[in-house]
Structure 1
Amino acid sequence: MTSVYMYAVSYDLGFAPNPFGGICSLACCKPAIRSGAKDGDWIVGLTGTKLRPALRCIFAMQVTRSVTFDEYWASEEFETRKSRRNGSAKKQVGDNIYHRDELDAPWVQEDSVHSLEDGSQCPLNTAHDTRVNRVLLSERFVYFGASALAVPAHILASMNYAKNPRDMRKYALAEAKCLIDWLEPQIVAHRNIPLDDPINFDATSKRFSATRQRMV
């Protein structure tokens, strides 16, 4: 049975999700979604309390495949998705950041958005991200970024999502059909091409502060 996952995006840097290069990936954050979503399921990210105004659609992706972190790291297909903190804005938000020297070895976290302020590994983010060893990939997505569209009120009301968005809600496809029907023409017209830069694209050089528990 197809499911639809909808959640409020805290930071839209182009990191989680990463919509560049014709693929939309969810490699970090949202372990519950990365654990549960199957091929064919939908993931929809909205603005929330941290990205005003709320209830605008930042992206929608239909999962078409998934890989492990080690597979993601080792594949030439995803080489360009590795983080390069001295590179362009797109390179700085690369989400291909986790790998191991061998199966039971500790995770290595490359210098990235989820590293500490000095570029060293962040144990908190490493533990949170690698709790689920799975990267979701989509070759059928639409990404609005800073041009995020307001979701019609009647759609949100029909899904009982009309008030402040919660962190994550899971729906059966029948319950979210009106949302997917609204998104489908956008996907057909703008498939796999970001329509705008991420909302927080001017902050791609930021990292995670363990003391402040936020991006700085």
Structure 2
Amino acid sequence: MKFGIPVYPGSNCDRDIGWVIEKVLGHDVKYLWHKEQSLAGIDCVIVPGGFSYGDYLRAGAMAKLSPVTEAICEFAEKGGLVMGICNGFQILLEAGLLPGAMLPNKTLSFICEFVYLKVENNEIPFTHLYKKGEIIRIPIAHAEGNYTCTPETLKELEENGQIVVRYCSPEGVISEEFNPNGSLNNIAGICNKRGNVFGLMPHPERASEAILGSVDGYRMFESIVKSVLV
């Protein structure tokens, strides 16, 4: 299986994801420079975290205009698997592949810490190896992770099961106390209606080896592989 990882000026998590895919998971990676227009041979695209184009204007706003982002949109529209992590999630929102937008954290500061997530939807290719309601521990590292959307969009997300993971307590309690950034309804990650596009703020690639303090993120990548190859 071959994963495509776009690299924008300012990306800084592309190699982290590549390490997990190649060294831990044992699959192929193709790094896609931001001017790339072809995704031929790619089975899944993972848009990495970082500060694409320095987050000028706002996070992801300039990256959505890149040729590779246009190619990713076409790939997703044809049913291709696309996952966006942190800045990658912000890019997917800006590109219109996922609904809603990101605001600065409620603290107005950068947050880098482990958080707990409750798996709300385990029926998409990215999470099917988790149990519904399972609590996982994965780190965040962002300044603009405060997800928001219109009441109408929120209603659709809730009714369609598009909220994939939420911030919670170690015991699974979902409340403002365990919401690190002010995100609407404790939303940490969402998918599109088809389930082939998934964006989340936490970094599963930083929780895929025991030496990093958690392996709870590894199954997201393993889920992708098994959904494609099985």
Instruction: Give the TM-score, by structure 1 length.
Output: 0.28
Q: In proportion to residue count, which structure has more helix?
A: 2
* Larger relative contact order, structure 1 or 2 (CA cutoff 8 Å, min sep 6): 1
